Structure 1
Amino acid sequence: MSQTPLLEIHDLNKSYPVGRSGIFGKKMMQVLRDVSLTVQPGEVLGLVGESGSGKSTIGKAVLRLIPSQSGAMRFDGQDLNTLAPEALRALRKEMQIIFQDPYASLDPRKSIRAVLAEALDTHQLHLGPAREGRLRELMGLVGLNPSFLDRLPHEFSGGQRQRIGIARALAVEPRFIVCDEAVSALDVSIQAQVLNLLADLRAKTGISLLFISHDLSVVRYISDRVMVLYLGRVMEVGPADEIHFAPKHPYTAALISAEPSLHHDGRRIRLTGEIPSPLSPPSGCVFRSRCPYAQDACAQSVPPLRTVGAGHQTACLRDDIL
């Protein structure tokens, strides 16, 4: 893979105002805290964590669907925070998204032909006689019969709708796609079909993916590297197999322990309590209030990401627990 990242994010922060304004202004809920990541051309980076960890917020911020509070974001060398509206509109051809809900993400009044053509019209692609060939090609690319182009979304199953969503994302030939819980709403057997489809498309086109999921086993299957988030902070990042089989952070190990398996090695980590509110996160390491290995030092300062292997980093002070 190239050493020049396609996507670079440095110290991304995002907060939302909550409640009513008082004499000191609105209270802010911080959902991302100093998140940094890179995605290489042709790479799949998996984002995993519990609900509320900030995974989808990262994807939306990258695509400029929501503004970030602070931090640098660059795509192919272009500063995403300072792009003018016209330049951002042109760049959207290179950056697409596959939404979580295959039922809500398609307009029920539009045929599949109209759904796919809308993306092509927006960027003035495959105009005139070339349009029909491109629409049929997209349907074949995601394993659907081109004769289905004139059907409405309600005539398709959930898995088929998600394939249409993938075809829509691919229509403008992007280099990068955010997959926001793209298989979580599907049955397990259909999940496998869609994951295999994404893996095949990545092999054929060299596209880069930011694959967001709460399921670590799904993320491991499709990702080259995995980043683990908890309460808006990065806990661990590294090669997918290393993260799964040799985690270095207690939170990652707890996620793996929670997976149904016949082959756990006995080192199960059961978390107690609920994830803290982003309005009042714990001091120091945000995971310490649920960590069975927490020490007094964990409350004193935020542990930085440190290298524990080739391309493997963890935000934990201890080396003696896993």
Structure 2
Amino acid sequence: MTPLLEVQNLSKSYPVGRKGLFGKRMMQVLREVSLSVQPGEVLGLVGESGSGKSTIGKAVLRLIEADSGTVRFDGQDLSTISHADLRRLRKDMQIIFQDPYASLDPRKTIRAVLSEALDTHKLHMGTARADRLTELMTMVGLSPAFLDRRPHEFSGGQRQRIGIARALAVEPKFIVCDEAVSALDVSIQAQVLNLLADLRAMTGISLLFISHDLSVVRYISDRVMVLYLGKVMEVGPADQIHFAPRHPYTAALISAEPSLKHESNRIRLTGEIPSPLTPPSGCVFRSRCPYALPACAETVPPLRDMGEGRLKACIRDDIL
């Protein structure tokens, strides 16, 4: 099957601080990341803050420009198409933002918020507009009677449902969910996750689901990609990643989850994630890895195929 989204060797750096004698210092946040998303698939991206998850989501949508690498969506290379073609393609590529409070214009009614994207792409014009808005509110579990209210009249969970309705309004093929439930209470998180799962089953939409919480990612994803300091550490089916991790960093993320089980076999990370300005040599995870060898400081581990859809970036095969 041809992937709906295919990313190859994506890299991105940002200038930091004032320009000096040799120019500005560059902070590399993505290091040759590759991924793919099949039609109807949910790929989860997980990692600590600073791992580059949101940068991938924005680069995929060309909300920011990557330094190098290619992004192909539905067979088209996004780096070479015209602005007019990219504008048309944006109908098929949408985003749900993290903050349900900041992502909605407080001056507009929900009717105006949902109509904006429809106006941009000239969809459901005339009398069909009211039917489409009613359908969208119903799809996300809100009453159409709320259409003429403004965002401040809703709870955080309701606002995120409105954000989901806005993303669905133009009937996209693919949505980036950028920490879409992290700002919500746990009980509301579950409701929104169930809603996304139901909408995915209903519409066949593909999702790139970004979160720092591996248990949340596992709940909704078919496959999971684990990132650390801009590098891919491990990729595999969601349940296999959770119950049988192959990389020490993945195992450490699982160990950090609340559990009533005996804790003697937990992997605990010490220290903070290193600065992207001064990453460790060799394997970027080695400075916090309990299994690191001297060779880990000298070798950048490639992402190796372990079979059964599993990939990992680690020189050791004698652990986990």
TM-score interval, normalised by the smaller of the two chains: over 0.9
The reply on whether 1:76 has 2:101 as its aligned counterpart is no
How far the C-alpha of 1:264 sits from its partner, in A, is 5.1
Alignment of 1:34-183 (within 5 A): 34-183=32-181
Aligned-partner residue type, residue 234 of structure 2: E
Percent of aligned positions that are identical? 82
Can you give the 5+ residue segments of structure 1 that lack an aligned partner in the other structure?
A: none
In the alignment, the residues of structure 1 paired with residue 319 and residue 223 of structure 2 have an alpha-carbon distance, to the nearest angstrom, of 23
Q: How far is 1:275 from its partner?
A: 0.6
- The correspondence of residues 6-21 of structure 1 with structure 2, limited to 5 A, is 6-21=4-19
Whole-Å separation in 2 of the counterparts to 1:196 and 1:110 = 28
Q: Find the aligned partners of 1:268 and 1:236 in 2 and give their Cα distance.
A: 19
* Residues in 2 aligned to 1:267 and 1:78: alpha-carbon distance in whole angstroms: 47
Supply the distance in 2 between the matched residues of 1:309 and 1:244 (Cα, whole angstroms).
17
Q: Is the 8 A contact 1:257 1:264 kept in 2?
A: no
Tell me which residue corresponds to 2:282: 284
The size of the alignment, in residue pairs, is 320
Report the AA paired with residue 279 of structure 1.
L
Q: CA deviation at 1:21?
A: 1.1
Letter in 1 for 2:186: V
One-letter identity of the residue aligned with 1:45: L
Structure 1 equivalent of residue 315 of structure 2: 317
* TM-score normalised by length of structure 2: 0.99
Give how far 1:265 is off. Answer: 6.6
Partner of 2:244: 246
Instruction: Judge conservation of contact 1:139–1:167 (CA < 8 Å) in 2.
Output: yes
Structure 2 SS opposite 1:289: helix
The CA distance in 2 between the partners of 1:83 and 1:267, in whole Å, is 51
Matching of residues 166-205 of structure 1 within 5 Å? 166-205=164-203
Q: CA deviation at 1:60?
A: 0.2
Give the TM-score taking structure 1 as reference length.
0.98
For residues 135-169 of structure 1, the C-alpha deviation after alignment (integer angstroms, 9 at most, x for no partner) is 00000000000000000001100000000000000
- 1:261 is displaced (CA, Å) by 1.0
Distance 1:217 1:266 in 2: 20
Q: How does 1:299-318 map to 2 (within 5 A)?
A: 299-318=297-316
> What SS class does the counterpart of residue 270 from structure 1 fall into?
coil
Q: In structure 1, how many angstroms separate the alpha carbons of the residues matched to 2:263 and 2:239?
A: 16
How many Å apart are 1:263 and its aligned residue?
2.9
- 2-side partners of 1:21 and 1:152: how far apart? 44
Instruction: Indicate the larger mover: 178-187 or 265-274.
Output: 265-274
- The one-letter amino acid of 1:213's match is S
**Structure 1 residues 261, 108: CA separation in 2 closer, same or farther (over 3 Å shift)?**
same
Q: The residue matched to 1:108 in structure 2 has which SS? A: coil
Distance of 1:201 and 1:285 partners within structure 2: 39
Q: What are the Cα deviations for residues 23-79 of structure 1, in whole angstroms up to 9, with x where unaligned?
A: 211110000001000000000000000000000000000000000000011001100
